[in-house]
């Protein structure tokens, strides 16, 4: 019986009574009566039907009591909000109460509602309700909505049209429903980013890094902070993994490589490389040693990485990180931006060649030099 009552209560909350929501002033009057201890003319009355009279009365009474508690709760929230804004008039308090009642119906708690109005002081209740309603339609729950607005209050300045446009764009990228809820928690800035920036990052992943559409969706879902990176830095991170570490697109997606910072990636990879524990594969993907997996290098804590993979002490790794940072700083001071890009591209190109090709180029260069020397002597 209790389970059925809860189901009916939830159904009544989703399908509002015409008499309750058709005339909002009745809600305000009911709250006032409930606060004064007087019986409500509308909500306090038990409903009866011809069949199952006892069950119907019990369900209707339970619904009425719960509804009165909600209205009393909304009255308390409104009182607190109005006290914080002494300039609010009676009509403003009534409008605020209507919004609070609707937010309670959506599943927001008193704490949630107080936080929503505390995020952006002075915001019109109608604007807040419009933004929150649109976020709920995207599949977000009350708690993620509050957290997203706390991390990025600029969302409240958007219009409903702008939110719908952004939601449509994210759905085209395969980021609707539960995917969007996860991304909103990790990167709430995605609602206020320009569409051109998102398109630029997606274009880098598809056109420059050669990921498939499905792989791009998986990257954005598993590594939402990719959207906060600079397109050039994102491309360099991919090139480093592809050319220096020999990791292909499928493994980059599977290991969630883009979650990690470039600093962490270079520190651990170069450390292993200089210890002779990691080699850049040739074009056939072959190495003379067995390279450790990406997860064993990047995913594990530093202590486990040093003990099980690098077999080194913490002091050695700290000294190495300081030396590596000094090397990069000196390189940055001695090279211009264009020279650094040229040098990086040449280095990646050379690393992509097989050892046989590199040896052949060296032999050809030596042969040309010897021929030029012999030709010079013969001219005499």
Sequence ranges of the domains in the chain: 93-190, 194-259
Return d(Cα 151, Cα 192) in angstroms, integer. Answer: 12
Nearest Cα neighbor of 24 from 81, 92, 82, 97 is: 97
How is residue 375 written in tokens? 């030709």
Name, of 23-32, 91-100, 267-276, the range with top average pLDDT: 267-276
Compute CA distances 99 → 1, 117, 125, 133, whole Å: 33, 11, 6, 11
Answer yes or no: pTM beyond 0.85.
no
Average pLDDT over the chain reads 75
- Measure the CA–CA gap between 191 and 170, rounded to whole angstroms: 9
Give first-to-last CA distance, the chain, whole Å: 113
Q: With bands split at pLDDT 50, 70 and 90, how would you rate the model's confidence at 351?
A: very low
- C-alpha span between 300 and 310 (Å, rounded): 12
Answer yes or no: is pLDDT of 55 > 50: yes
- Taking the C-alpha atoms of residue 238 and residue 228, their distance in angstroms, rounded to an integer, is 15
The pLDDT score that the predictor gives to residue 269 is: 97
Q: For residue 281, what are its two tokens?
A: 């594969």
Burial of 323 (0-12, 13-18, 19+ CB in 10 A): exposed
Q: Do residues 278 and 292 make contact, with C-beta atoms less than 8 angstroms apart?
A: yes
pLDDT in tens, 282-305: 988 899 999 999 999 999 999 999
Distance CA 95, CA 156 (A): 18
CA–CA gap between residue 298 and residue 247 (Å, rounded): 13
In the predicted model, what is the mean pLDDT of residues 103-116? 91
Single out the residue of 228, 276, 322, 187 nearest to residue 237, CA to CA: 228
Residues 6 or more apart whose Cβ sits within 8 Å of residue 72 = 31, 34, 35
Q: Residue 225: name the closest of 266, 185, 174 by CA.
A: 185
Q: For residue range 170-186, what is the model confidence (pLDDT) as tens digits?
A: 888 888 766 777 888 88
d(CA 68, CA 71): 5
């Amino acid at each position: 019986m209790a389970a059925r009552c809860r189901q009916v209560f939830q159904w009544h909350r989703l399908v509002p009574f015409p008499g309750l929501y058709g005339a909002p002033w009745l809600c305000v009057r009911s709250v006032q009566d409930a606060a004064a201890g007087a019986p409500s003319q509308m909500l306090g009355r038990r409903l009866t039907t011809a069949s199952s009279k006892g069950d119907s009365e019990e369900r209707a009474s339970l619904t009425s009591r719960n509804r009165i508690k909600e209205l009393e709760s909304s009255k308390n929230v409104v009182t607190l909000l109005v006290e914080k804004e002494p300039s609010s008039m009676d009509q403003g308090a009534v409008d605020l109460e209507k919004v609070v009642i609707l937010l309670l119906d959506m599943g927001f708690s008193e704490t949630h509602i107080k936080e929503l109005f505390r995020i952006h002081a002075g915001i019109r209740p109608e604007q807040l309700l419009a933004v929150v309603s649109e976020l709920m339609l995207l599949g977000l729950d009350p708690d993620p909505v509050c957290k997203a607005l706390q991390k990025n209050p600029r969302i409240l300045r958007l219009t409903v049209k702008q939110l719908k446009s952004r939601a449509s764009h994210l759905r085209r990228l395969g980021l609707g429903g539960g995917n969007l809820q996860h991304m909103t928690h990790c990167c709430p800035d995605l609602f206020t980013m320009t569409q051109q920036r998102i398109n630029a990052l997606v274009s880098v992943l598809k056109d420059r890094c050669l990921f498939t559409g499905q792989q791009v969706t998986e990257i954005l879902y598993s590594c939402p902070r990719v959207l906060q990176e600079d397109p050039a830095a994102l491309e360099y991170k991919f090139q480093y993994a592809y050319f220096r570490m020999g990791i292909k697109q499928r493994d980059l997606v599977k290991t969630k490589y883009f979650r990690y910072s470039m600093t962490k990636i270079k520190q651990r990879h170069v450390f292993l490389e200089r210890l002779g524990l990691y080699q850049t594969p040739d074009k056939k993907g072959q190495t003379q040693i067995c390279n450790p997996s990406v997860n064993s290098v990047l995913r594990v804590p530093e202590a486990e990485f040093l003990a099980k993979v690098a077999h080194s002490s913490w002091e050695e790794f700290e000294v190495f990180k300081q030396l590596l940072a000094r090397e990069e700083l000196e390189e940055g001071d001695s090279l211009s931006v264009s020279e650094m890009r040229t040098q990086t591209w040449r280095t990646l190109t050379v690393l992509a060649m097989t050892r046989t090709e590199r040896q052949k180029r060296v032999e050809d260069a030596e042969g040309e030099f010897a021929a030029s020397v012999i030709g010079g002597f013969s001219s005499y």
